[in-house]
Structure formats: C-alpha cells, structure tokens
Amino acid sequence: MQTIAGKSPKKSYDEILRSTFIMGASSVITSLLGILRIKVLALLIGPAGVGLMGIYLSTANLLTAISGMGVDESGVRQIASDNSRRKIAATVFSIRRAAVTFGAAGLCFLLIFRHRVSLWTFGNGDHAYDLALMSLTVLFGTVSGGQIALIQGMRRIGDLARINILGALWGTMLGIPIIYILENRGIAIFLLVASGAYLLTCWWYARKIDIPRIAVSWRSSLAEAGPLLRLGFAFMIASLMSLGTIYILRVLVLHHQGMAATGIYQAAATLSSIYVAVILRAMFTDFYPRLTAAAGDRLRFSKLVNEQIEVGILLAVPGILATMTAAPLVIVAFYSSEFMLSVDILRWQILGVFLQVISWPMGFMLRAKGDRKLFLWSESFGNAVHLGFAWAGITWFGLSGVGMAFLAMNVSYGLVIFLIVHRHYGFAFSSKNLRFMAIFGGTAGAVFLTPYPFPQNHLTINVVLTITAGMYCLKSLISSTGTLPVILLKLKSRYTC
C-alpha cells in the first residue's frame, strides 16, 4: 500500500480537500433530501412524533454499537494498514462473518427484552411492538457496518458518497408515504424499511471491490477476529458511551420536559451538526485511514492533524456563523414554527461544533495509534462531563441548559485531548492554527453575543461578520492550497465518471 510519508504539503491539502468536497457534494444532496423529509415529517407528526423517532433511533443505534463490537471501525484500521490483497480478503471475510453473528445476537436481545426496554425508556410497555420491529434495524445496521468497513478501508470515497446519497433518497421516498398513511404508528416501520434499503445499497457497492475469493474456516476467522475484537472492543465501548449519552440525554429531556420538548431538542441537535457533518464525515472516511498509515512517522503524524484542523476550520466557520445568525429562519425552514424553542439550544450547540472541528482530529490520533487505554479514558471523560453538565443545565436553565452543556463539554474535552496528545505524541498547534482559532473563536463569540446588546441591529451586524469571515476563509484556503480551482475541476471529472 502506498505510503503518504513523502507527499508534499500541497498534495496533502489536495487530498483533504478532495475527500471533503466529495463527501461535501454528497452531503449537500443528502441535506436537501433531509430538509424535505424533516419538513414533511415535522408537519405530519409534530414535535412529539419527531421526539419519538429520535428515541427509537437512539435505542437502535445504541444496541447496534453493542452488537457490532467495534469490529467495523477496527476493520477499517486493519484494511487500511494491510498491504496484501489476500490478507485484506481474509480480514473482510472475518469482519462480515462477525457482523452477521453479532447482529443476530443484537436482534435476539431486543426481541426478547422489548417490554423491559420500553419500560426503561418510556415508563410503560406501549412501545414493545415497535421495538420488536426495531430489532431488525439492529441486525441491518451491524451488517451494513461490515460492508462499510471494506469500502472505507480501501478509501473508496466516491462510493461512500454515493451510498450516503442513496441512503437519504430511500429514506425520503419511503419515509414520507409511510408516515403520511400511518402517522406515529409508521415511525418504526419507516426506520426498518430505510435501514434495509441502506444495507442493500452498502452491499451493492461493497461487491464491486475486487478482492480475492478465499475460503476461511471458523477457526481461522476466530484467529483473524482476535486482534479486531481487542481493538474493536475499545471502539465499541467508546461508541456505546457516546450513543448511551445521546440516549440518556433524550430520556432526561423526556422525563423533565415531556415528549414535545424531546422533539425540540432533537431538532436542535440535528441542525447543529448538518453543515459541519461534511467535514467530520470526510475526516472519518478519508483522514482516519491516512492518519493510520502515517502513525509511525511522528512529524508527519502531527502535521496531518494540523492540516486537517486548518482545513476543517476554514470550511466550517462560514456555515457555523451563518447558522447562528439565521437560527430562527433555519428552524422554521427545516421544521416549523412549533419548533422555535429550538433556537436557543441550536445557538449554544453550534458554538460547541466549532470546538469539535478542532478537537476531533486530535482524538483521531488515539484511534490511529491504537492506544486503547487513552482512547477509552478520553471518551469516558467527555461523555461523563456531558451528562453531568446536561443534568445541571436542564435543572437550572431548563431546555436551553442542554445546549449549554454541549458547549461546556466540548471546552472540557478539547482541553483534555490536547493535553493527552501533546504529552504522548508531542503534538502542538501550528502558529497558523493558533491564529485561526483566536480570530474565528472571537468572531463566533461576537456573533453569539451580539443579539443581547444590539437587539434591533444584531442581524445586520452578524451578516456583515459572517460574510467577512467567509471571504477570509476562502482567501486563506486558496492561499494554503494554491490549487483550489484545479481541485474542483478534478472533482468534477472524477465524481461524474
């Protein structure tokens, strides 16, 4: 497998931009379909229905993370570092076998304990039937993860983008008619059908990858799965903590504020991540395999992280500022006026998203190094702090306190993860990134605070700040790469072929 150690800075920036723009193009289409789907669903089932769908998704995602045992993520790392196609084939076979086995176990668990899970979550057994349907989504999600591991490990960024687009398309085409006919009763059916369609899409693109067909015994699969499970277990625990935190947050809001408030929180949480998900998704799909390949070169390792942070900031800041500026319009456009209470939560959370763009590349250093103990400790800290701040926030400040908690968690996690990677890997921010963090951190704070001293003129002020920052980001991005127009031309020819 080709090493990246000798690539020039311009080439490295090009790769970051290429993967970001490919995933970005798919995310734009995905977001447009998502806007249509969310808007219609919000009108059909209201905040309470959106909240119920969020809880179902959190439950299924939590159990999918448990049943997957992190094999999909550790598989990406293994495939990215393998240099033998036969070795890759053996790894893929073992991943797929493990995914089906563990997914079936997750299905059986939720099917058997559906009444208990309904009682834990809702305080009654009324949702047991829907949870039985959701057990199939656990199986489908786990098996899909096994297919995605191959595609991502081979860095088939275009295929990943197409899968995202088709997944959103199936969700929109199938979801709207089902919810229109069945309303709240169709939520679980819609999620089941959408996950099944996504699995078929993943399988279709995974089968196109040319890897040798080999026969692997169960004993060999177990031997192959051993290293995957050891690292995968750490990834699974981390994913479980993150999804468990999401689940507990929704239950916390449900018990303190009611089902409608859960839908309002779901709206803010979704919108706060839409724009920056372009950068974070590209980070996981392409940056992670590249960082893994460079893990043995300390200088290159840190340089890649600084480059990713720089590009992430420059691409994310305009959208973050625009979302804070136009938060009420965004809420009405994506949902409806019934969700206006989401505005305060959204503005707090979008500030936290700015910090995520900085902290996530540093967190990926622990993944790429396979440092299980540090990785688990940092993830445990972040999730524990998030829950603690959320409980305090919702108790003292109501629903807006959940948004404040997200920002407070990202401040705490960012400081801790920097101290970890600085001490263990010698990482330090580049002078350029320190300058960008100071400039754009101050700008984001100004856009957030402007409505308080200037309630009449804050929109004009924030629009000027957003446009100015956006132009500066574009200028800086072109200055760093020197080849942005070329990248766009290459992207067009590559993505349409």
Residue 199 CB neighbour total at 10 angstroms: 20
Question: In whole angstroms, what is the distance from residue 105 CA to residue 440 CA?
Answer: 47
| Model pLDDT, residue 497 | 46
Which two three-digit tokens encode residue 30? 């995905």
| Model pLDDT, residue 6 | 46
Residue 159 belongs to a domain = yes
**Structural domains in the chain (count):** 1
| Model pLDDT, residue 1 | 37
Range of the domain at 189: 16-495
Q: Is 201 helix (H, G, I), strand (E, B) or coil?
A: helix
| Model pLDDT, residue 292 | 79
| Model pLDDT, residue 404 | 94
Q: At what angle do helices 128-153 and 114-122 cross, to 10 degrees?
A: 100
Residues 6+ apart with CB under 8 A from 88: 79, 82, 153, 154, 211
Residue 1 belongs to a domain = no
Residue 345 belongs to a domain = yes
| Model pLDDT, residue 362 | 94
Q: What is the pLDDT of residues 328-376, one digit of tens each?
A: 888 887 777 778 888 898 899 999 999 999 999 999 899 888 888 898 8
Residue type for 266, please?
Q
Residue 162 belongs to a domain = yes
For residue 260, CA distances in Å to 42, 50, 250, 265, 368 come to 11, 8, 11, 9, 41
Residue 190 belongs to a domain = yes
Residue type for 240, please?
L
Residue 10 belongs to a domain = no
Residue 78 belongs to a domain = yes
- In the chain, which residues have pLDDT < 50? 1-6, 485-489, 491-492, 495, 497
Length of the chain: 497
Which two three-digit tokens encode residue 249? 């947050």
Residue 3 belongs to a domain = no
